[in-house]
C-alpha cells in the first residue's frame, strides 16, 4: 500500500474549465501548474486530472485517440511532466484518468481493426461479431455498417467508444473469446504499457497513479462478483507492486468490497440511484423527495447512509480505502440542493471520515450547477457541473483573458460572491471553512485515512450523528432542533473546531441547530 495514501486529500480538476493560461478560452496544463499553490494552501495534497489525452472530444476526453499524447488544446507532454515536477516539489501527488474499457473510434488500434484484413495484432483488440448481420444480444450495445470489416463492433457507452476486448466469461457465440485468449491478454498488456509510460514519465518525471474509469466494465458477461474483471486488475496490481510500489489506483466501481479485492487501493462511493451516498446530499434526483440528510428542512437520517457504508467499511478496512466525493464531473454540484451551511456540514462529515476524500474543483466556493446549459462534448445534464472555475470578480471570473464568446463553457455570473478572491477575504466563507476543516484533518492523525471509525450514536429518529476516531469525538446535527448526547469519559474533552453552537459539559455533548463539533480527549 502506498505510504502517501495515509494522508491523501484529493482535488479533482476538469482541465477544460480550471484555468486558461494562454487566453484561448480553454483551460490547460500550464494553468493547472500555476494554481498548485492555491490547491496546496487549500489543504489538498493530491490531484486527480480528468482525461487530458489526445481525443476528438465527443465525450469530453473519455474517447481517447492517443493514450501517450497530451491533447494539444491542453499543451504538450512536456507541460504535463513539468506539472508532475512542480507538484512533487510541493510534496503533492498527481494521478491521471485512465480509460481502460474503450477508446475513440479514431484510435489507430481501431482504424486498423476495422479493415477488411486487419493486422493480426489488432484483429481482436476490439469486440467484433462475425457478420454485419447481427440481431443483437441483451446486455450488449453495437454499431453496424460503419466499417469495411464484415462485422459489428460492440460499444461501451457512446457510439464513438468501441469496447476493447478483454474477453467473455460466459460465451454463446464463436466470436466471443475467453479472457485467457492471447488476444485478450494482449489487451491487458497494452493497458499496462500505457500505465508504465506515464508512471515512468520523461526521465523519471512520472505521475503517481490512476483513477480508473468504469473499472468494472472490462470482461463481458462476467459473474456478479466480476471475477474475470477482478483477475485483470489483480494482474495490473501485481505489476504495480513490483515496478511502482508507490503508485495508486482508485476505481470508479461503486462496490468497495469488490474493487478492493480486485486490487484497487481505493474505490469511490458513486451517486447512483438509491445509494447511501446519494441519501446524504442528492436525494432529489430520480424522483427522490428531497429528504437528503444534510437538508435542514428535510427528514433524512444518517442510517440510510450507514446501512450501506458500514458493511463495506468493515470488509475492506484492512486492505483498502473508501473514497467519499463532494461531487464530480458526472454529478450535479452539491450546492444545487444545499445552501452554504448545509454544504459546510456535508464537507465536515466527508473530511473527518476515514478513507481518502475527493474535493471537486469549485465545490469549495459553492459553485452552482447551471441546469439549462446545452450539452458540450457529450456532457448533456452533466454540462452544468463543468463550467469554468471562478477565481475573481473580473472578466470571465478570472478563468481566461479570452473574449467570453470563445470560452469552453460560459462562466456563471449570477452570484459575484462565488469566487476565490472574494471568499478568501471573508473568514466566514465556505472556502475558509473548507481550509479550516482540511487543516484540522491534516494536523490530526486520528482524522486521516486510517480505519479507526467507531459509531457512538446514529438513530433513524434523531438527526444527530456522533462518531469517534481515535481520541477525537465528532458530532453533527444538520437539523433545526438542539440535540444532546451523553458520553462517559476519563478526562475532559477539548473542542478543536466547531460550526454553529455546540459544547460539552458534565458528560453531555450539546449540538445546536445545524452544527458540527470535533473534540479531543
Three-state SS across 270-294?
A: CCCCCCHHHHHHCCCHHHCCCCCCC
- Residue 288 above 70 pLDDT? no
- Residue 460 above 90 pLDDT? no
Domain identity same for 122 and 56: no
Domain identity same for 438 and 458: no
Domain identity same for 55 and 106: no
pLDDT tens track for 2-44 = 999 999 999 999 999 999 999 999 999 999 999 999 999 999 9
Helices 430-443 and 340-352, axial angle in degrees (round to 10): 10
Domain identity same for 357 and 480: no
Q: Which residue has better confidence, 409 or 488?
A: 409
Do 419 and 365 contact (CB within 8 A), yes or no? yes
Helices 182-200 and 227-243, axial angle in degrees (round to 10): 40
Domain identity same for 275 and 206: yes
Do 380 and 455 contact (CB within 8 A), yes or no? no
Report the predicted TM-score, pTM, of the whole model to 2 decimal places: 0.97
Domain identity same for 499 and 461: yes
pLDDT for res 346: 98
- Residue 489 above 80 pLDDT? no
Domain identity same for 125 and 62: no
Residue 337, Cα to own-chain centre: how many angstroms? Answer: 20
Structural domain containing residue 120: 102-165
CATH code (residue 491): 2.60.40.1180
Instruction: For residue 54, tell me if it sits in a domain.
Output: yes
Do 309 and 276 contact (CB within 8 A), yes or no? yes
Overall average pLDDT of the 383-390 stretch: 98
Overall average pLDDT of the 385-393 stretch: 98
Domain identity same for 11 and 157: no
Q: What average pLDDT does the structure give for the chain?
A: 96
pLDDT for res 284: 79
Return the percentage of the chain with pLDDT > 70, whole number: 99
CA distances 402 to 25, 352, 406, 437, Å, are 5, 40, 6, 35
- Residue 289 above 70 pLDDT? no
Instruction: For residue 511, tell me if it sits in a domain.
Output: yes
Do 292 and 280 contact (CB within 8 A), yes or no? yes
Domain identity same for 195 and 309: yes
Domain identity same for 463 and 388: no
507: pLDDT confidence band, cut at 50, 70 and 90? confident
**Neighbouring residues of 135: CB distance < 8 A, sequence distance ≥ 6:** none
Instruction: For residue 234, tell me if it sits in a domain.
Output: yes
- Residue 451 above 70 pLDDT? yes
Among 380, 414, 443, which residue terminates a domain? Answer: 443
Instruction: For residue 170, tell me if it sits in a domain.
Output: no
Instruction: For residue 464, tell me if it sits in a domain.
Output: yes
The whole-angstrom separation of Cα 79 and Cα 29 is: 6
pLDDT for res 353: 98
Instruction: For residue 178, tell me if it sits in a domain.
Output: no
Under DSSP, the state recorded for 377 is T
Among 414, 443, 472, which residue terminates a domain? Answer: 443
Instruction: For residue 176, tell me if it sits in a domain.
Output: no
pLDDT tens track for 349-379 = 999 999 999 999 999 999 999 999 999 999 9
- Residue 283 above 80 pLDDT? yes
pLDDT tens track for 293-340 = 999 988 889 999 999 999 999 999 999 999 999 999 999 999 999 999
- Residue 461 above 90 pLDDT? no
Domain identity same for 50 and 143: no
492: pLDDT confidence band, cut at 50, 70 and 90? confident
Question: How many domains does the chain fold into?
Answer: 3
pLDDT for res 286: 62
pLDDT tens track for 141-186 = 999 999 999 999 999 999 999 999 999 999 999 999 999 999 999 9
Among 165, 198, 220, which residue terminates a domain? Answer: 165
Instruction: For residue 155, tell me if it sits in a domain.
Output: yes
- Residue 246 above 70 pLDDT? yes
415: pLDDT confidence band, cut at 50, 70 and 90? confident
Domain identity same for 410 and 274: yes
For residue 406, what is its C-alpha cell? 470563445
2-6, 130-134, 287-291: which range is least confident on average?
A: 287-291
**Closest to 12 in 3D by CA, of 424, 406, 410, 359:** 359
The whole-angstrom separation of Cα 248 and Cα 209 is: 5
pLDDT for res 275: 93
Amino acid at each position: 500500500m502506498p505510504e502517501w495514501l495515509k494522508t491523501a486529500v484529493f482535488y479533482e480538476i476538469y482541465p477544460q474549465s480550471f484555468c486558461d493560461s494562454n487566453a484561448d478560452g480553454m483551460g490547460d496544463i500550464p494553468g493547472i501548474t500555476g494554481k498548485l499553490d492555491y490547491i496546496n494552501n487549500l489543504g489538498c495534497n493530491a490531484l486527480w486530472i480528468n482525461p487530458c489525452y489526445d481525443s476528438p472530444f465527443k465525450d469530453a476526453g473519455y474517447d481517447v485517440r492517443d493514450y501517450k499524447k497530451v491533447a494539444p488544446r491542453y499543451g504538450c507532454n512536456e507541460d504535463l511532466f513539468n506539472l508532475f515536477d512542480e507538484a512533487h516539489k510541493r510534496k503533492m501527488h498527481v494521478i491521471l484518468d485512465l480509460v481502460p474499457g474503450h477508446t475513440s473510434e479514431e484510435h489507430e488500434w481501431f482504424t486498423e481493426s476495422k479493415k477488411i484484413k486487419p493486422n493480426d495484432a489488432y484483429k481482436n483488440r476490439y469486440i467484433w461479431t462475425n457478420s454485419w448481420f447481427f440481431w443483437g444480444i441483451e446486455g450488449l450495445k453495437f454499431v453496424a455498417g460503419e466499417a469495411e470489416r464484415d462485422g459489428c463492433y460492440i460499444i461501451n457507452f457512446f457510439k464513438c467508444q468501441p469496447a476493447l476486448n478483454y474477453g467473455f466469461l460466459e460465451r454463446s457465440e464463436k466470436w466471443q473469446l475467453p479472457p485467457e485468449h492471447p488476444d485478450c491478454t494482449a489487451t491487458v498488456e497494452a493497458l499496462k504499457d500505457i500505465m508504465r509510460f506515464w508512471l515512468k514519465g520523461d526521465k523519471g518525471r512520472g505521475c503517481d497513479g490512476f483513477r480508473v474509469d468504469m473499472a468494472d466494465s472490462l470482461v463481458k458477461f462476467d459473474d456478479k462478483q466480476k471475477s474475470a474483471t477482478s483477475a485483470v486488475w489483480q494482474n495490473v496490481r501485481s505489476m504495480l507492486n513490483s515496478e511502482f510500489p508507490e503508485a495508486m489506483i482508485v476505481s470508479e466501481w461503486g462496490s468497495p468490497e469488490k474493487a478492493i479485492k480486485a486490487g484497487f487501493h481505493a474505490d469511490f462511493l458513486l451517486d447512483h440511484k438509491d445509494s447511501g451516498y446519494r441519501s446524504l446530499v442528492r436525494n432529489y434526483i430520480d424522483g427522490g423527495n428531497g429528504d437528503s440528510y444534510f437538508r435542514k428542512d428535510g427528514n433524512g437520517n444518517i442510517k440510510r447512509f450507514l446501512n450501506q457504508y458500514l458493511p463495506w467499511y468493515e470488509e475492506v478496512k484492512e486492505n483498502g480505502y473508501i473514497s467519499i466525493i463532494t461531487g464530480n464531473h458526472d454529478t450535479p454540484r452539491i450546492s444545487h440542493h444545499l445552501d452554504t451551511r448545509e454544504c459546510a456540514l456535508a464537507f465536515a462529515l466527508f473530511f473527518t471520515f476515514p478513507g481518502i476524500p475527493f474535493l471537486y474543483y469549485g465545490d469549495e466556493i459553492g459553485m452552482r450547477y447551471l441546469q439549462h446549459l446545452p450539452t458540450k462534448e457529450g456532457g448533456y445534464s452533466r454540462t452544468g457541473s463543468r463550467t469554468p472555475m471562478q477565481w475573481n470578480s473580473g472578466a470571465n471570473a478570472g478563468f481566461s483573458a479570452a473574449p467570453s464568446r470563445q470560452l469552453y463553457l460560459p462562466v456563471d455570473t449570477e452570484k459575484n460572491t462565488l469566487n476565490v478572491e472574494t471568499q478568501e477575504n471573508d473568514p466566514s466563507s465556505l472556502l475558509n471553512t473548507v481550509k479550516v476543516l482540511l487543516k484540522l484533518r491534516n494536523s490530526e492523525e486520528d482524522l486521516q485515512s486510517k480505519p479507526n471509525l467507531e459509531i457512538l450514536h446514529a438513530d433513524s429518529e434523531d438527526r444527530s450523528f456522533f462518531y469517534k476516531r481515535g481520541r477525537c469525538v465528532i458530532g453533527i446535527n444538520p437539523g433545526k432542533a438542539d440535540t444532546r448526547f451523553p458520553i462517559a469519559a476519563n478526562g475532559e474533552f477539548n473542542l478543536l473546531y466547531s460550526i454553529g453552537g455546540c459544547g460539552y459539559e458534565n458528560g453531555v455533548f450539546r449540538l445546536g441547530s445545524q452544527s458540527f463539533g470535533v473534540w479531543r480527549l
